[in-house]
Amino acid sequence: MDLLLKKKKILVTGGSKGIGLACATVLASEGADIIISSRTAHNLEIAGKRAGGHKGELHLFQADVSVKEDVEALGEFVKSRFGYLDGLIINSGGPPLGSAMSHTDEEWITAVNTLLLSAVRLTRVFVPNMQERKFGRIINISSTGVKQPIQGLVLSNSIRQAAGAYLKTLSAEVAKDNVFINSLLPGSTDTERLLSLHEAIAGNTGKSVDEVISIRKSSIPAGKFGDPSDLAGLAAFLLSERNGYITGQSISVDGGLVSFPL
């Protein structure tokens, strides 16, 4: 199926590694014009080499989505390169591990800026123009923790709920303008983030990383971790015109991990 993504203008924040980079790479291979942003020039440079080489335009921009001024600068960069956006993937890094009462106020505030206010600010910058143009597709990369809280990830479990509720509310307000907003909820997906979580769990429990990995895999019905490309294909469909009627949804990509989807 041709996803009709050729020359579509798409921004992927947190796009220099892992799930974000997999999405940017698939979109570029479909002929979309892409901007990848993340915090560090080094990661962006490597991402540019991995996602580049296709026919569409590829631009890189350094921005921390937890910082208001960076999101505004990203808006200006998009305007200068593309003039408008057809699609936006809201993604960034996950917060640190911690039990329910272990985090300081500063850690909560950082996580709110990264996972919630990033979505509020990015949509404020880009959605009004999508509404005017009567086309826009947005995806938020979230976590299965919003359906079934993950032990030791209280910041992610809590704040992603709020981001999901914000985006669900917004999706109902803008659907009539053909602006569709969905969340993808990765289960354990094979990226640097997953490896660092397993190393942290191993450090906390005295188990080896291999033991942690084997226990985690055995709890997944599919018996394996996901590949970032498993999310990327779905993201490409949801961002395309082929998605004519799916909005306001939270879709797990988790090998069957969440037992009772809410």
Count residues binding ligand NAP (CB under 6 A): 28
Q: What is d(CA 235, CA 89) in angstroms, rounded to the nearest whole number?
A: 8
Q: What is d(CA 85, CA 27) in angstroms, rounded to the nearest whole number?
A: 14
**Exposed/middle/buried for 205, CB within 10 Å: 0-12, 13-18, 19+?**
exposed
Q: Nearest approach, Cβ of 29 to ligand NAP (angstroms)?
A: 18
Residues 6 or more apart in contact with residue 41 via CB below 8 angstroms: 62
Residue 77 CB: number of other CB atoms within 10 A? 18
65 is a contact residue toward ligand NAP (CB under 6 A): yes
Interacting residue with ligand NAP among 26, 141, 179, 236 (CB under 6 A): 141
Residues numbered 214-253 forming contacts with ligand NAP, rule: CB under 6 A: none
Interacting residue with ligand NAP among 9, 11, 12, 17 (CB under 6 A): 17
Helices (H) and strands (E) in the chain, counts: 9, 7
Binding mask 173-192 for ligand NAP (x = CB under 6 A): -------------x-xx-xx
User: For ligand NAP, which is the closer residue by CB, 4 or 165?
Assistant: 165
User: For ligand NAP, which is the closer residue by CB, 35 or 174?
Assistant: 35
| Structure token pair of residue 122 | 């990015």
39 is a contact residue toward ligand NAP (CB under 6 A): yes
213 is a contact residue toward ligand NAP (CB under 6 A): no
Q: What is d(CA 161, CA 165) in angstroms, rounded to the nearest whole number?
A: 6
Query: Residue 87 in contact with residue 8, Cβ under 8 Å?
Result: yes
Q: What is d(CA 252, CA 257) in angstroms, rounded to the nearest whole number?
A: 9
User: For ligand NAP, which is the closer residue by CB, 30 or 64?
Assistant: 64
Q: Nearest approach, Cβ of 28 to ligand NAP (angstroms)?
A: 15
Task: Kindly list the residues in this chain that would bind ligand NAP in the complex (CB under 6 A).
Answer: 13-14, 16-20, 38-40, 43, 64-66, 91-94, 114, 141, 143, 186, 188-189, 191-194
